[in-house]
Amino acid sequence: MPRIEKLVIQVLCHATEDQDKVLRAVRNVLGNAADKVSISSETLKGHYGDPVTIMRMYLLDENACEEVFLRILSSLSRFEWEEIWSERIKRGKHGGKLYIRLDKQEAFLGRIRQSDKDPIRIVVEARGNIDALRKKFEERIRELEAKSSP
């Protein structure tokens, strides 16, 4: 049975940004699963010597991982999630990884949008057949859409 094993979230916090606001943006993406992540951070020097903090979060609860992934997919357009499944994927022998980049500013405002500019980076680590995983999530999205339509 295909499943999502873990999510690895990485975000940069630049010297001009408030770390609490950056974390709130990530929490907005994670929803209820935000309390289940483990966080590590490291401060480095940027190109001009300014401090840049790399925050990494790990979500290992498989049910929470699937709920977050479903939350992200259901917030994106059909075109955007087709792009994730076709172009932002690395298949492996026993599963694969999906690479998602979300707009940090939009996430702070509670909206989930893709962006390659200073993003919240999410690596979705999956086990099992990736095509079967895709079908599983397409079915779950159809169920959500059916429930929300009158």
Give pLDDT tens digits for 33-72.
Answer: 999 999 999 999 988 889 999 999 999 999 999 999 999 9
Each residue's pLDDT tens digit, 87-134: 888 888 788 999 999 999 999 999 999 999 989 999 999 999 889 999
Confidence (pLDDT) at 93: 79
What domains can you pick out in the chain, each with its CATH number? 3-148 (3.30.1440.10)
The yes-or-no verdict on residue 147 having pLDDT over 90 is: no
Confidence (pLDDT) at 91: 85
Confidence (pLDDT) at 136: 93
Kindly indicate the confidence band of residue 78, based on its pLDDT and cuts at 50, 70 and 90.
Answer: confident
What sign does the dihedral 21-22-25-26 (CA atoms) show?
A: negative
Find, among 12, 13, 10, 141, the residue nearest to 66 by Cα: 141
3-class secondary-structure state, position 16: coil
The yes-or-no verdict on residue 150 having pLDDT over 80 is: no
Confidence (pLDDT) at 41: 94
Residues 119, 17: Cα–Cα separation, whole Å: 13
Residues 97, 48: Cα–Cα separation, whole Å: 33
CA atoms within 13 A on the CB side of 22: 22
Kindly indicate the confidence band of residue 81, based on its pLDDT and cuts at 50, 70 and 90.
Answer: confident
Q: Which residues pair with 124 in a beta bridge?
A: 7, 98
Find, among 111, 1, 149, the residue nearest to 66 by Cα: 1
pTM for this entry: 0.91
